[in-house]
Amino acid sequence: MDSHSDDSRPSAVADALGGAAVYSARVAARAWRGRLETAVEELLSTPEVGRVLDRALSGPLPEEVARSLVRHRVAERMVEELAASGELERLLDKALASPETLVLVDRVLASEAMGHVLERTLSGPEVRKAMARQSHGLAEQVAGDVRDAAAGVDGRLSTLRKPTEFAGVASRGIALVVDALAVLTISLAIGAAAGLVGTLVGGVRPHWLAGTLLGVAGVAVALGYFVLFWHTAGQTPGMRLMHVRVLPGRPDRRLTTWRSLLRALGLALAIAPCFLGFVPALFDSRRRALPDYLAGTVVVYDDGTHRVA
């Protein structure tokens, strides 16, 4: 029992002495902390230290530090750490929600420089090309849907019940509407120009002569429109939109100017009696209407496919 007390007594004394030493060190550190901080501040504020820092910063040290930061991916690792801990998201939310940020954004958006930047950006060739591609894609999609719907109506209106390459009345009718609008636009432009010329020369007398001349000009525009496009391209702009084309009824024939003119006259005769001249296309095996019978032509789908009737 006595031997055990003798063994533990030195250990207790050592612990007491160690604790006293640590306590003394802490007291000394507290006592000297203020003096050390003051001494360091005085040292850093001396002109000599300032000159040393200037020489260091004017040398290659900043570039070496920057390259070392990039080489060791310090910034990337800091961002990853902030993102993983959620601190980055919190900082961003705090910055975006602050009133100062909203005021700064409003000032930037309302500034004249931002207006110039937006104007140059929106008027740039890249933006125009992108908008043109989007508009062309949308227009082509709409036109494709219209063509498919018209082909479906062609099949339902026809008595044929098998795939055929010949265009029906729906596709041809939509093409005719587009062409009629084009002819009307051209006629109005010519009429406006004629009216302006007539005003400059004092008008055309008598008035019935002016009306007759305008009527003749309208007929000439319509005939010239269809004859020109049928003879040169085989299709009018409306037919091109609907992907249909006029072809001679026989391979040994050509779509001459005379045949195109005869077809244009047949088109007028087919329209005059409430479009009854297109009724034969509902029953004919090649979907020919009155203009096709007169000119010896057929109208086919321009893509060369056979549509289901």
The alpha carbon of residue 204 and the mean position of all alpha carbons in its chain are separated, in whole angstroms, by: 51
Residue 288 lies in a domain: yes
Please tell me whether residue 307 adopts helix, strand or coil conformation.
strand
Ramachandran assignment for 170, one of left (phi > 0), alpha (psi -120 to 50 degrees), beta (any other)? alpha
pLDDT digits (tens, 9 = 90+) for 266-301: 999 999 999 999 999 999 999 999 999 999 999 999
Radius of gyration of the chain (CA): 46
**pLDDT for 86:** 81
What kind and span of H or E run contains 230?
helix 207-232
pLDDT digits (tens, 9 = 90+) for 68-118: 878 888 788 887 887 888 887 887 778 777 888 878 878 877 888 777 777
Residue 155 lies in a domain: yes
Domain tally for the chain? 1
pTM: 0.58
**pLDDT for 114:** 74
pLDDT digits (tens, 9 = 90+) for 158-170: 887 778 899 999 9
Distance CA 269, CA 258 (A): 17
Distance CA 246, CA 233 (A): 9
> Which has the higher per-residue pLDDT, 127 or 230?
230
C-alpha distances in Å from residue 133, one per residue of 106, 146, 243, 265 = 33, 20, 21, 40
Residue 227 lies in a domain: yes
Angle, nearest 10°, between helix axes 169-200 and 125-157?
120
Residue 43 lies in a domain: no
Residue 149 lies in a domain: yes
Q: Sign (positive/negative) of CA torsion 230, 234, 236, 237?
A: negative
Q: For residue 283, give its domain range.
A: 132-301
Residue 188 lies in a domain: yes
Residue 221 lies in a domain: yes
Which ranges constitute the DSSP H helices of 159-273?
169-200, 207-232, 237-241, 257-271
